[in-house]
Amino acid sequence: MQAFLIALLSMVISTASLAADTLARARETGTVRLGFRLDAPPYSYKATNGEPSGYIVDLCREVVAGIKKAQDLPSLKIDYVEVSSATRLTALRDGKIDILCDPTSMTMSRRAMVDFSLPTFIDGAGVLHRANEVYRLEDLRGKKIGVLQGTTTEETLRTTLAQLGIQAQIVPMQAHPDGVRTLAEGKIDAYFADRGILNYHLLNSRNPTGMKLSDQYFTFETYALALPRGDDKLRLLVDATLAELYRTDRVKTIYARSFGTFPPDQFIRALFVINGVPK
């Protein structure tokens, strides 16, 4: 435990020096750099027209609009930067992007590297499978299980299987479409990811026959926008923008754009209420 705390402290010290005044940089350059993913719909992805899209990307656009207003920068532009699940946090830490706009789960270990905004979404790990119904992880004993490499889902899956003594072959994937396609081709027996992402890929799969999304939630994940560590001015402005969206009906329109008719489920409704912080 002591070794972990020492390592955590050293990481905090090393990353604190990299904290920048993002708003000052935006004034100087006239741009805000938003990191987005190609492969995490409906939250963050590249649409067929080539434009960055998704619910969390839309929230980031609202944040940039808030920066324009608060900083009196009407000509402020957005520079979209592609990141992967493996490089997204280091890209933010190293100053290559200003805000990470994807389904990133808040964890204590990640908070040693970056800061987080108010929560943006609540989801959880689910499983897409080909065999009979999956009610428990024990149902996957001896199976080949795909999971996106470098995610909290992969970490949780490996840890949980080991704790339960369940022998299964974990097959890391580079992108969600690869995992769903590999499952459809019968090369793996199940694919773990956040349920919102799995549901999107199942609905849009060219070959959904024989695949099913389990009703079971195996974890709960709280997403937030990842921000440069120690940049309090930016974090306050981001949180103020999100809180205003949650207090008003504007967030409903943004939500419906990616998920369909409002209202969302009980978890998201609670998130909007709890995080609609007064001015």
Average pLDDT over residues 96-110: 95
Average pLDDT over residues 40-53: 93
Quickly name the fold that domain 125-213 has: D-Maltodextrin-Binding Protein; domain 2 (3.40.190)
Specify the range with the lowest mean pLDDT, choosing from 61-65, 202-206, 238-242.
202-206
CATH 3.40.190.10 segments of the chain = 2-123+222-274, 125-213
Residue 179 C-alpha from the chain's centroid: 17
For residue 246, pLDDT over 60 is answered with: yes
**Interval 173-200: pLDDT, tens:** 999 989 999 998 889 999 999 888 888 8
For residue 2, pLDDT over 70 is answered with: no
Confidence label for 136 from pLDDT (cuts 50, 70 and 90):
confident
Residue 254 C-alpha from the chain's centroid: 17
Other beta carbons less than 10 A from residue 237's beta carbon: 20
Residues 192, 183 contacting (CB under 8 angstroms): no
Percent of the chain surpassing pLDDT 70: 91
CATH class for the region spanning 2-123+222-274:
alpha beta
For residue 70, pLDDT over 50 is answered with: yes
Percent of the chain surpassing pLDDT 90: 65
Residues 176, 38 contacting (CB under 8 angstroms): no
Amino acid identity, position 25: R
Q: What's the pTM?
A: 0.79
For residue 76, pLDDT over 60 is answered with: yes
